[in-house]
Amino acid sequence: MDDLAISVHNVSKCFRRYQHPTDRLKELLFPSQKKYAEFWALRNVSLEVPRGQTLGIVGRNGSGKSTLLQIIVGTLMPTSGNLQVNGRISALLELGSGFNPEFTGRQNVFFSGQLLGLTKPEIEERFDDIAGFADIGDFIDQPAKTYSSGMFVRLAFAVATSVDPDILVVDEALAVGDEAFQRRCFSRIAALQSQGSTTLFVSHSASKVVELCDRALLLDHGEALLAHEPKFTIDRYHKLIYAPPDRLESFRQEIRNTPDLPPDLPQPLAAEPSPSPTDTGEGTQSPLDEDFYDPNLIPKNTISYIPRGAKILNPHIETPAGRIVNHLTGRKDYVYTYQVTFYKTAYRVRFGMLVKTVSGLELGGASFTAASQEIERVDPNTTIEVRFDFRCLLNPGAYFLNAGVSGTVDGQFTYLARGIDIAMFRVRPESDSFASGIVDLLVNPHLNLLTDESVPRPGEGFPSDSARVESL
Ligand SMILES: Nc1ncnc2c1ncn2[C@@H]1O[C@H](COP(=O)(O)OP(=O)(O)OP(=O)(O)O)[C@@H](O)[C@H]1O
């Protein structure tokens, strides 16, 4: 248990639901008459989170995510089961929970900080840092009831992360802040991660879970269906969300039967494509100095959704001259193409594509969303070829492709066919490239040798271009 920050064993939570508010009173007066219906928000959930790991929790609305977090944080008691939490826990659950609306922001910082175990002098020492991070200006001395939802989250996050928590629990609240603030929050979470904090992170954002988490838990109707490598879990979660009603139970069972990834192995599955974005493709690289096709380079984790009126065929990448390739050269032009065969009449048909990294980070894509790009009607037994021209502005590594076609069939607008990781490709390393990261920003570096006079002295601005005297 020493290595575990959180251990949850067979935890269940049953809520009592009353049809009418007065039913509670009636039950108090006549204890023998039960007026409630039982609702099991969690059923036999078990979970282990090692110290220093970040666990994402995903699931539809009402699947039990907040209930589980509240039990871990200690604001709800489980109906049965037990759990152990090791270390100081700091939570950002419901918006502004823990804040007194009558207190000013400053008073709330001291109030919450003390609840989180800090002494008054410790809070005083950190106050400027907290107020600076929250960046709500003079509102810090206004009552919290005058705050916008964004201000609440800013201050709550600043306090929650200022106490150096052993365990940080964040429930979607960050979605309220603007993008710049979210970015700052995620940097702070990353800093806490690097200091060894354990994090629980509930989010509906697949890319955030894939980016931030070591593992992800899929909750469904209060049941822990799967705990696995984040992208693996997210893919199954999406499959579940988009499952046709008659296949839902069999999908659920399939996911239930998938073995969990043990908590101490936060590595991608052996069966998953495992190269990193900077992987050079050892063993599969052609000696030829040009694009080529490697028949062994095929995704091992393709998920095809149950087709609803159409089928996606033959997804691949071509050069503009029509040669099929899956080892590409950076900065060159290619075509991602697939065919769609329709077997039902479909209306308002749209096509889409997406490129992702090995970890599932969505890099970019396109979809025919404007009405002018839709096809008004497609008859059965029609096959359409879809072609997306693109320039490969990616650095060496392995990448995955999605394909999707949506439209209205049988009166319902839905995905008609969809393939996740339906094809993959590598971008070949180039010996003279200096680019780093994932996306090739076409950076063009220059070096200039500056004379003594053109070097700025403290307090002066940067030298203008005219001050540069010699190009290297
Ligand atoms: N105090 C309560 N009394 C009765 N039912 C409750 C109570 N709290 C939660 N529930 C029910 O338990 C289920 C799980 O709720 P919970 O808030 O944990 O789900 P969630 O996955 O966090 O949902 P969301 O994504 O919408 O936040 C829901 O059906 C909810 O209505």
Please indicate, yes or no, whether residues 42 and 182 belong to a single structural domain of this protein.
yes
Q: What distance in angstroms lies between residue 38's CA and the mean position of ligand 1's atoms? A: 13
For residue 175, the model assigns a pLDDT of 65
Q: What distance in angstroms lies between residue 23's CA and the mean position of ligand 1's atoms? A: 20
For 435, which DSSP code?
A: -
Q: What distance in angstroms lies between residue 62's CA and the mean position of ligand 1's atoms? A: 5
Q: What distance in angstroms lies between residue 64's CA and the mean position of ligand 1's atoms? A: 6
For residue 157, the model assigns a pLDDT of 87
Please indicate, yes or no, whether residues 328 and 391 belong to a single structural domain of this protein.
yes
Model pTM above 0.95: no
Q: Determine, yes or no, domain membership for 13.
A: yes
For residue 276, the model assigns a pLDDT of 36
The three-state secondary structure class of 52 is coil
Q: Which of 293-297, 358-362, 457-461 has the lowest mean pLDDT?
A: 457-461
The three-state secondary structure class of 132 is helix
CA triple 390-396-398, angle to 5 deg: 80
Residue 59 has pLDDT above 80, yes or no: yes
Residue (of 431, 443, 361, 441) closest to 402 by Cα position: 361
The torsion region of residue 204 among left (phi > 0), alpha (psi -120 to 50) and beta comes to alpha
In contact, 104 and 143? CB cutoff 8 Å: yes
Please indicate, yes or no, whether residues 157 and 33 belong to a single structural domain of this protein.
yes
Residues with CB under 6 A from ligand 1: 15, 17, 39, 41, 59, 61-67
Confidence bin at 108 (pLDDT 50/70/90):
very high
Q: Which of 123-137, 253-267, 394-408, 411-425 has the lowest mean pLDDT?
A: 253-267
Q: Give the pair of three-digit tokens for residue 415.
A: 């995905």
Q: Determine, yes or no, domain membership for 15.
A: yes
Which of 16, 35, 58, 66 is the best mutation target for the ligand 1 pocket, counting ligand atoms within 8 Å of the beta carbon and taking the most?
66
Which of 12, 14, 15 is the best mutation target for the ligand 1 pocket, counting ligand atoms within 8 Å of the beta carbon and taking the most?
15
For the chain, how many structural domains are there in total?
2
Q: What distance in angstroms lies between residue 65's CA and the mean position of ligand 1's atoms? A: 8
Please indicate, yes or no, whether residues 251 and 308 belong to a single structural domain of this protein.
no
What lies within 8 Å, CB to CB, of 378 at 6+ separation is: 342, 345, 346, 347, 349, 384, 407
In contact, 399 and 355? CB cutoff 8 Å: yes
- The CATH code of the domain that includes 209 is 3.40.50.300
Confidence bin at 161 (pLDDT 50/70/90):
confident
Please indicate, yes or no, whether residues 93 and 221 belong to a single structural domain of this protein.
yes
Confidence bin at 266 (pLDDT 50/70/90):
very low
| pLDDT tens per residue across span 173-219 | 666 666 677 777 877 888 888 888 999 989 877 778 888 888 999 99
Distance CA 141, CA 124 (A): 15
The three-state secondary structure class of 409 is strand
| pLDDT tens per residue across span 271-309 | 333 333 333 333 333 334 578 888 888 887 777 777 889
End of a domain among 235, 257, 279? 257
Residue nearest atom 20 in ligand 1 by C-alpha distance: 62
For residue 41, the model assigns a pLDDT of 95
Domain that holds residue 370: 303-427
